[in-house]
Structure 1
C-alpha cells in the first residue's frame, strides 16, 4: 500500500554512555511503521556495536559514530556537548540508501500513531515564488518548531523530529557538512553568539541546508533577524514545509517528553507553531483563496497561554542579555 515510501529510522537503538534511551522504544518505533505504513521499506541507520537482536527492519546501515561535537563552553570552562553530527550522519547515510520516491526521517525513539501525514503532504500543492527551494513540501512536526523561544520570536526554528517528503528534498535538507568544534577566543570564550543565546541546533540544520544550495543566510544568535527576518522565515515555512500538530501528524514521543514535562503541556506547546498558524502562512504567501477553518476556542486558549507564559519571559530574556553585556563590559 505504501511501497513508494521508505522510512529511515535513525539514531541509537539502545542507551549510549552519554545518552539515555527508553527501554524497547526502537522496537515500538519499528512495529508502528509496519502497522501504519504497510508495504513501506524500513531502513535502520544506526551505529556499529549496537545490539540489533529482535529488531524488525528491511535494510541496515551501520555508521561510524562521529561522536559528539562542541558548540559551546560552560561558564566553568567545561565543554557543552551536542549530538548534531551524529544526527546528520545517521540521517544522511540512511537517506542515501533510499530508492523510493518518498522518504520518512524518523528518530529511533519516536513512533507513528497513524499515517494521515501522507495525505496532508499531497493536499497543499499551490506555491508562492518567494524562497521556495524544494520540489514538494516537506511535512514536519510542530513539536519544537518554535514560533517563540525564551519569550522572543525566532526564525527558521524547525523541528528535527520528523520529516516526510520527496527523497530528493530530504537529502537536500540532511546531506550536510559536519559541524566543527567551536574554538573559544578571548573575545568569545563561551560561544559564537555570546552574550546572546546560541543559535539552536534546529536552526543550524536549516541554515546548513540553505547555504549548501547557495543562500547566504546566517544567524548570529537564536533571535537574530538582521539577515533572516520574520518575513523570510515565514515565506520559507509556507512554501517548503507543512507543520502538523500531534493529531494530524500521528507522531508518538518517548516518555521523557510526556507527563509533567513542559512540552506536553499548553505552557510549552504555545511556544510552537500551531497547525492553523501554518495554514494562515500558506494562505498569506502561497494560496490566497485557501480557507482556514479556525477553532476559536483553541485560538483563545493559545493566545491566553502566550500572554501568561511567553510574553513575560521575553522581559526576563532581554534583561539577562543586557546583564551579561554589562558584566562583560560590552555596554
Structure 2
C-alpha cells in the first residue's frame, strides 16, 4: 500500500465535517445524499438562511442565518447588478464556527461529492516545501483549479482562489474564511476607473470578482499588498499571486478532487458532444492553475528544470488561450 493510501486511513469519517453553505436549491438534496454515500459517518452542517425550506433534507446540524442581502454594483452611481459575496462569507463562516473535527470540507449547496480522492490529495499537497514569507496557513488547503485564475494567462486576474471547494485542517479553512464582510461602497463596485473591461466576460462584478474579494479579505490579515482592481499588475502582483497560491493552496481539477458542479458542468467535465461545452472547458483549462501547472510553477520557483512534456503543456495552454482570446475578445 502506498503512503498516501496509508495516510487516508488515518482520516476517518468522524475526523471530517462537511459545511454545506448557501440557499436550499433543487440540487441540495443530491449534495447532502452524495456526502452520506461516500462519508456515512461524517457530520454534515447545513448553513443556510432563515425561512429556507428544509423538509426531507439529510443533515446533522442546521444553521439558519439572517440574510445580509446583496451588495449593489454601481457604474457612475447607477446600480447595474447585485453581488452575493457577503452571503457566501456569512453562511460559510457560520458553519465553520460550529465545526469541532480536525478536518473539514467547505462546499456549496449545489456541489456533488463523487469520490474520496481529496483525502490523498491533501497529503500530497503537504509533500512540497513552502516559502515561509508567503505561508499564511499551517498546512496547504486543497481547492478547485477551476476558477483559480492563472494571472499569467491573458485573463490576468490576480489574487483569485476558487471559492467552490475547500478541504484541509479546520483551523486553516477557518483562517481563510474568518474575515469581515465587504462594505457596500462604490470603491468595491464602481467600474469607471477600471481598465480592460472586455475581460469581464459580460459580468458586472465591480472592481473585483467575488473570488478576489474573498481572497483579498483573507490576505488583508497576513500580507501588505497594493491592488486596486481585478487586473492590477503593478508591484509584482502577478508573481506574488503565484507565490501565495503555491504556499497556501493546492489547485486540482474538480473531477480529480472528487466533486461535481452540475450548474457549471461544462467547465468541470469534457463533453465531446457539444462544441460550446468544449470551448467552455478549454477556456477554463487554459486560463486557470491546474494541478500540472501548479507543479510547473513550483519547479520554476525553486529553479528546477522542467521536462519537455511540462514545457509542451504550458505552451499548449498558452496556445489554446490565445485562440480563445482572438475568437472571444478581439
TM-score by length of 2: 0.81
Structure 1's 117 and 68: CA in aligned 2 closer, same or farther, altered over 3 A? same
The residue that corresponds to 2:143 in the other structure is 140
Provide structure 1 residue ranges, at least 5 long, that are not aligned to the other structure.
15-22, 317-331
Which of 300, 303, 309 is the aligned partner of 2:324? 309
Kindly indicate whether the alpha-carbon contact (under 8 Å) linking 1:172 and 1:209 is maintained by their aligned counterparts in 2.
yes
Q: How many residues align?
A: 300
Structure 1's 179 and 49: CA in aligned 2 closer, same or farther, altered over 3 A? same
Moved more, 298-307 or 38-47: 298-307
1:146-295 equivalence runs, <5 A: 146-147=149-150, 151-183=154-186, 190-191=190-191, 193-195=193-195, 197=197, 198-213=207-222, 215-258=223-266, 260=276, 264-285=280-301
TM-score by length of 1: 0.81
SS at match of 1:105: strand
Kindly indicate whether the alpha-carbon contact (under 8 Å) linking 2:23 and 2:52 is maintained by their aligned counterparts in 1.
yes
> How far did 1:290 drift?
10
Deviation sequence 1:142-176 (CA, Å, 0-9, x none): 11111159933222111111111111111111111
Q: Matched residues in 2 for 1:235 and 1:192: separation?
A: 30
Moved more, 38-47 or 228-237: 228-237
Deviation sequence 1:192-239 (CA, Å, 0-9, x none): 7535552222111111111123x2223211111224522211111111
Q: Matched residues in 2 for 1:250 and 1:176: separation?
A: 28
SS at match of 2:133: coil
Structure 1's 228 and 95: CA in aligned 2 closer, same or farther, altered over 3 A? farther
What is the RMSD computed on CA atoms of the aligned residues?
2.9
The residue that corresponds to 1:123 in the other structure is 124
Q: Matched residues in 2 for 1:293 and 1:10: separation?
A: 42
Note if 1:12 corresponds to 2:23: yes
SS at match of 2:132: coil
The residue that corresponds to 1:95 in the other structure is 96
Q: Matched residues in 2 for 1:2 and 1:189: separation?
A: 42
> How far did 1:279 drift?
1.1
Kindly indicate whether the alpha-carbon contact (under 8 Å) linking 2:45 and 2:60 is maintained by their aligned counterparts in 1.
yes
Provide structure 2 residue ranges, at least 5 long, that are not aligned to the other structure.
1-11, 198-206, 267-273
Q: Matched residues in 1 for 2:192 and 2:171: separation?
A: 32
SS at match of 1:212: coil
Which of 52, 55, 61 is the aligned partner of 1:53? 55
Q: Which has the higher helix share?
A: 2
Q: Matched residues in 2 for 1:196 and 1:123: separation?
A: 37
> How far did 1:270 drift?
1.5
